[in-house]
Amino acid sequence: IAWSPTNSYAPGKVSCPGNLLVRVANSISPEEQEWVDSRNKITDEHLIKFLDHANMTDFDADSFIHGNIRSIKIGIAFSGGGLRASIAGSGQLAALDNRTDGAWEHGSGGLLQATTYISSLSGGSWLVGTVSLNNFSTIDNVIHSGLWDFRTSIFSYGGLNLVKTFNFMSEINQDLEDKRQAGFETSLVDVWARALSYQFFKDSGKALTWSSLQDFDVFKNHEMPFPMVIANGRTPESCIINGNSTVFEVNPYELGSWDPSLYQFTQVKYLGTNATNGLPTNGASCIGGYDNAGFILGTSSSLFNEGLLRIDNVTLSSLLSGKVPVTSGGDDCDNNNTVVFGTKSDGDQCVGGFNHQGYIRGSNSTIFDINNSLIFNSVKSVVKSILLSISQQNNDVAVYKPNPFFRTNAGRSHKIATNDSLFLCDGGEDAQNIPLYPLIQPEREVDVIFAYDNSANFQGWPNGAAMVATFERQFSKQGNGTHFPYVPDTNTFLNMKLTAKPTFFGCDASNLTSLVGDNANIYDIPLIVYTANRPFSTWSNTSTFQMRYDNEERDAIIKNGFETSSRMNLTLDPEWNACVGCAIIRREQERQGIEQSEQCKKCFQRYCWNGHLNTKHVYADFVDRCIQFLKRHYKSISLKAVQWVPSGPLSWLQYIYSRIRWFF
């Protein structure tokens, strides 16, 4: 397996391959093509099983699939949105996985097994990365193995267990030191990446590389979808990320971009190698292990460096003063309103928390002076050494140095090719918070994309902004021949309830002719099945920066994700899987001139956006009568109080506190 050659976080020397490390992005790689060809044989059979199980009328799945010139390719995309996106997305994914108990009977089980590509960014990459790099694990196994234990935030990893916190910080510090001693630059993304890995990978994933996927049996045997992670490029010395930023893709074989600004890919296994125009400068000596799995996921989610910077500016200073504004419950401890761990006790006694003078009180009322604690001072020392050792230049992004695209000439961006470092950041910072970019590349021939949106655009819920951003980008200079079906504005998404249930876009390819040029085919524009985060059995619009969840809340959001993906366990629409099947086969039917069945026509009437607009002012989407309706009709649902919109300075302060108090 392609672990780091040093068996640590530090990269090390390996033998170079016999070919150039960089190629032009005029096709998918030969390795991906070979893999997909073999995967097609598996997805074809799983798709037949799914379509047969979907009870589609007037349709013979076996003859249709085996009679096609090319295999139908399904893509799944999971949005960013912090742990909310990971947890909600895991329930949505579980509903598509025939290995999940109940997914075959009450969800869309088997769809995941019929899928060719799965893409992700930011918080969604934590989901896809966890599942993929743990041997394509099931969500049940991820939970029951203890990997996703979010009861303690990684920003206060040990809680009151200072020994655990000290060991955690010391290990991260040593990992960064190992990388620096090997001759490579570090940034806050390295700290973030190592911290993430403790929650997503066994044994903290210190030596686990992204390219290790190539050697996993489940990947080599084509038993899982082809995973991809998205990041954005940032121009050196710039803080601006917009729709014209270069979008980068990391897959098991390569890192690079289809955008004309770069239009190249490099072999991900050899990141860290000094190269000029794709040729290693040290002859037969290359670098391996730079593509640490956590570093790739940390790159895609580097928005969360805000949290690390907050540790530097707020929490660290609080630690140094002996006052710790880090809370598991948000309760005040004493009359001085000191924020503490734990809960209140009688009077102004503080049980298991810090008081305002910097003392820690145990449940037996023994008081320890935290300011003079050897362990606590050691923790402070380690935290300071980590922060002080990191370069202050571009420390809020992932630094890939040396730049694998140094002095290449295929792309239009002079700034990328002439800089010795490549700077990458959060994949959703260009507003494309659903990773549709790699799935709409015509070279991949994707027929249908299931887009799961767990963004927080309006009162913590999605409003379709990510879809709008991808639609608009096709008309920019970075569009480069990619095409995306028409979508409405965000007000229409909400006013016409397009986030209230799954919505299909691009249902009729003949209506997309104005989007393509002479050299493009309207049938190559994938149909989009858009599903937004929605409260069925719990309020799942938690803060993007909430980094701590107790098991009850985590499991409730997973359950809600399953219900979102399955039309409330198929109770809202028993024909949902048939409608999914209609969406999957639509493009191939259009290529062959096959008319839809009456069942599919009715499905499309229910789920396709009809092209109408409603751009009026948007109001709250959830009201008391809707909640009461759900409670009346679905007895198992137990919803929290209705979300409220704050008014007045004090209310706004209370609201802001309620949204950020879980961050630490």
**16-43 in b/e burial notation, b at 16+ Cβ within 10 A?**
beeeebbbebeebbeebeebbeebbebb
What pLDDT, in 10s, does the model give residues 496-536? Answer: 999 999 999 999 999 999 999 777 899 999 999 999 999 99
State how far the Cα of 243 lies from the Cα of 612, in Å rounded to an integer.
Answer: 26
Asked whether residue 477 falls in the same domain as residue 518, the answer is yes
Identify which of 210-219, 228-237, 312-321 has the greatest average pLDDT.
210-219
Average pLDDT, the chain: 84
Asked whether residue 605 falls in the same domain as residue 656, the answer is no
Distance between alpha carbon 216 and the CA centroid of its chain, in Å?
Answer: 21
Asked whether residue 555 falls in the same domain as residue 453, the answer is yes
Asked whether residue 459 falls in the same domain as residue 501, the answer is yes
What pLDDT, in 10s, does the model give residues 151-179? Answer: 988 767 776 777 888 888 899 999 999 99
Query: Picking from 36-45, 270-279, 578-587, 650-659, which range would have the lowest pLDDT averaged per residue?
Result: 650-659
State how far the Cα of 231 lies from the Cα of 427, in Å rounded to an integer.
Answer: 4
Identify which of 646, 621, 643, 641 has the alpha carbon closest to the alpha carbon of residue 631: 641
Q: What are phi and psi of 384, to 5 degrees?
A: -60, -40
Query: Picking from 264-268, 507-511, 615-619, 638-642, which range would have the lowest pLDDT averaged per residue?
Result: 638-642
Domain-embedded: residue 297: no
Domain-embedded: residue 248: no
Asked whether residue 587 falls in the same domain as residue 439, the answer is yes
Asked whether residue 515 falls in the same domain as residue 656, the answer is no
Asked whether residue 555 falls in the same domain as residue 643, the answer is no
State how far the Cα of 449 lies from the Cα of 410, in Å rounded to an integer.
Answer: 29
- Structure confidence at residue 621 (pLDDT): 56
Q: Residue 360 gets which letter from DSSP?
A: E
- Structure confidence at residue 162 (pLDDT): 76
Q: What are phi and psi of 657, to 5 degrees?
A: -60, -40
Q: What percent of the chain has pLDDT over 70?
A: 77
213: amino acid identity, one letter? L
Asked whether residue 111 falls in the same domain as residue 34, the answer is yes
Q: At residue 248, does pLDDT exceed 60?
A: yes
Domain-embedded: residue 113: yes
Query: Picking from 216-220, 257-261, 313-317, 512-516, which range would have the lowest pLDDT averaged per residue?
Result: 313-317
Domain-embedded: residue 194: no
Domain-embedded: residue 260: no
Identify which of 105-114, 419-428, 537-546, 630-639 has the greatest average pLDDT.
105-114
Burial of 597 (0-12, 13-18, 19+ CB in 10 A): middle
* pLDDT confidence tier of residue 82, bands split at 50, 70 and 90: very high
Residues 92 and 565: beta-carbon distance below 8 Å: yes
> Rounded mean pLDDT of 275-279?
95
Q: At residue 375, does pLDDT exceed 70?
A: no
Identify which of 181, 177, 156 has the alpha carbon closest to the alpha carbon of residue 168: 156
Q: In what order do the strands lie in the sheet with 353-354?
A: 353-354, 359-361, 367-369
Query: Picking from 39-43, 119-123, 378-382, which range would have the lowest pLDDT averaged per residue?
Result: 378-382
* Host domain of residue 498: 30-70+87-117+432-616
Domain-embedded: residue 101: yes
SS3 labels along 9-60: CCCEEEECCCCCCEEECCCCCHHHHHHHHHHHHHHHHHHHHHHHHCCCCCCC
* pLDDT confidence tier of residue 380, bands split at 50, 70 and 90: low
Domain-embedded: residue 611: yes
Domain-embedded: residue 65: yes
Alpha-carbon torsion 270, 272, 276, 277, what sign?
A: positive
Q: What pTM value is reported for the model? A: 0.84
SS3 269: helix
Asked whether residue 97 falls in the same domain as residue 47, the answer is yes
- Structure confidence at residue 378 (pLDDT): 57
State how far the Cα of 198 lies from the Cα of 312, in Å rounded to an integer.
Answer: 21
Torsion from C-alpha of 379, 380, 386, 391, nearest 10 degrees: 170
Residues 94 and 562: beta-carbon distance below 8 Å: yes
- Structure confidence at residue 109 (pLDDT): 99
Asked whether residue 504 falls in the same domain as residue 632, the answer is no
CA count, 13 A, side-chain hemisphere, 338 = 23
Q: What are phi and psi of 23, to 5 degrees?
A: -135, 160
> Rounded mean pLDDT of 11-35?
96
Asked whether residue 479 falls in the same domain as residue 440, the answer is yes
Cα–Cα separations (whole angstroms), residue 632 to 281, 534, 627, 638: 69, 18, 9, 11
606 against 348, higher pLDDT: 606
Q: At residue 626, does pLDDT exceed 70?
A: no
Number of domains the chain is built from:
2
- Structure confidence at residue 305 (pLDDT): 54
Residues 277 and 22: beta-carbon distance below 8 Å: yes
